[in-house]
């Protein structure tokens, strides 16, 4: 309401000044009748037509504050703001040479206003022909409905966090909400000198809100900023956090000593080689620097206390599982409890299988025949053996 009263006072003073100028004895209308003057509010350019839409977002029941600011800005650029503020009133004298110019400009502003209003609201002002009456009617209807908008904006601010956004995107979202909130809930102006105190407190709250929504990776720099007295403005805080973000992006590019120690050069594998080297599988596996065992890393090593030790379901001893239990599957060759007379499961089977394969390969090399050829040869010899065996008995 204070903002509305201020605009009304300015409109009254400007209107009085214009009418005083028009009623002067020295050709009062000569200045406004000069349509070649670019500063003349009655001048219409070639681009001014009734179908122009001055703002991108049409007026709804929820966006009057932002719409009215955009509309005032567009009319000020067109030099037609006086037709809605009351600075340029309709001439009362029918013989006034400016009456026709005023009606033409007023109709143009009315068309611009109606083009910028949603269809649900346009029907209520479609029969109003005075631009100022339309403006005041919309102002009285929608300017006081700020409570729900302020509530929603503050709710969005309280729940806004950086999450996976960059610092620039996160700050941009905050800045948008702050600017919109300043429209619906502006800081009151006064002449007692306390405005600076209110602005400083508002800047401090913005800094707090920006720091509270940051990712936890900025906890150190956030704690350092909180120790500063007085706090820097929010734009300075954003600049410092943005520099910290750039440093975080550069750190992963520098290899750490641990990662360099774990880097193992893979053996060279010829292109035409059908089988990779035997040691390549072991080198590609995880390796623990603490217990010197492959299959896991230091972060998951139970011997270092970083994880709980597994329990074997067969022997109930910690440190291994049933699928690797020596008491269940047998001890591997080279183990101190390994015995040739024992019958360890997978290791004996693997050894016998390899020996059988080797013996078969050797036998194939000695005979010079494959297994299939050998079986075919035996099948051919069987009828001959049965015939020769039956001949002596016949005699």
Neighbours of 46 (CB within 10 A): 5
Structure tokens at 246: 């750039």
C-alpha to C-alpha distance for 157 and 181, rounded to whole angstroms: 10
pLDDT score of 117: 93
Which of helix, strand or coil describes residue 59? strand
What is the end-to-end Cα distance of the chain in Å, rounded?
A: 139
Q: What is the pLDDT of residue 116?
A: 93
Q: Where are the domains of the chain?
A: 2-142, 147-253, 309-377
Q: What is the pLDDT of residue 360?
A: 44
With contact defined as beta carbons under 8 Å apart, do 132 and 74 qualify? no
Average pLDDT of 280-297?
Answer: 65
pLDDT averaged over every residue in the chain: 74
Give the least confident one: 148-162, 214-228, 377-391.
377-391
Q: What average pLDDT does the segment 29-48 reach?
A: 81
**Mean pLDDT to the nearest integer, 193-213:** 87
Choose between 238 and 248: higher pLDDT. Answer: 238
pLDDT at position 168 is 92
- Tokens for 201? 């407190």
pLDDT at position 78 over 80 = yes
The crossing angle, in degrees rounded to 10, of helices 167-184 and 195-212 is: 140
Burial classification of residue 40, based on how many CB atoms lie within 10 Å of its CB (0-12 exposed, 13-18 middle, 19 or more buried): middle
Rounded percentage of the chain residues whose pLDDT exceeds 90: 20
Q: What is the pLDDT of residue 137?
A: 92
Residue 277 has pLDDT above 60, yes or no: no
Would you state the pLDDT for residue 245? 87
Q: Does residue 164 surpass a pLDDT of 60?
A: yes
Q: How far is CA 299 from the centre of its chain?
A: 30
pLDDT, one tens digit per residue, over 103-148 is 999 999 999 999 999 988 988 998 999 999 999 999 888 877 677 8
């Amino acid at each position: 309401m204070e903002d509305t009263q201020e605009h009304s006072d300015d409109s009254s003073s400007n209107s009085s000044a214009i009418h005083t100028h028009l009623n002067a004895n020295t050709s009062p209308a000569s200045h406004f009748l000069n349509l070649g003057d670019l500063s003349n509010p009655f001048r219409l350019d070639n681009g001014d037509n009734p179908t122009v839409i001055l703002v991108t977002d049409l007026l709804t029941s929820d966006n009057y504050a932002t719409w009215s600011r955009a509309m005032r800005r567009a009319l000020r650029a067109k030099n037609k703001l006086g037709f809605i503020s009351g600075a340029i009133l309709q001439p009362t004298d029918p013989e006034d040479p400016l009456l026709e110019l005023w009606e033409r400009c007023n109709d143009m502003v009315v068309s611009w206003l109606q083009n910028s209003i949603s269809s649900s609201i346009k029907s209520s002002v479609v029969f109003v022909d005075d631009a100022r009456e339309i403006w005041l009617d919309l102002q009285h209807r929608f300017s006081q409905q700020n409570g729900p908008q302020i509530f929603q904006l503050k709710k969005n601010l309280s729940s806004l966090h950086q999450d996976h956004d960059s610092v620039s995107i996160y700050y941009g979202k905050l800045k948008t909400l702050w600017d919109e909130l300043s429209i619906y809930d502006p800081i009151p102006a006064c002449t007692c000198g306390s405005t600076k105190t209110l602005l400083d407190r508002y800047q401090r709250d913005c800094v707090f809100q920006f720091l509270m929504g940051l990712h936890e990776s900025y906890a150190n720099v956030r704690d350092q900023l909180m120790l500063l007295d007085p706090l820097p403005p929010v734009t300075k805080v954003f600049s410092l956090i943005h520099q910290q973000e750039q440093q975080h992006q550069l750190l992963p590019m520098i290899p750490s000593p641990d990662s360099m120690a774990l880097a193992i050069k893979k053996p060279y594998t010829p292109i035409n080689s059908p089988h990779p080297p035997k040691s390549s599988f072991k080198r590609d596996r995880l390796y623990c620097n603490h217990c010197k065992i492959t299959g896991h890393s230091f972060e998951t090593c139970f011997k270092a206390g970083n994880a709980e030790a597994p329990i074997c379901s067969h022997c109930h001893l910690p440190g291994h599982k049933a699928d690797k239990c020596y008491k269940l599957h047998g001890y591997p060759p080279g183990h101190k409890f390994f015995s040739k007379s024992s019958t360890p499961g997978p290791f004996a089977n693997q050894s016998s299988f390899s020996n059988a394969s080797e013996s078969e390969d050797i036998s194939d090399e000695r005979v010079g025949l494959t297994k299939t050829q050998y079986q075919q040869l035996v099948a051919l010899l069987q009828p001959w053996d049965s015939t020769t065996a039956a001949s002596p008995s016949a005699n």
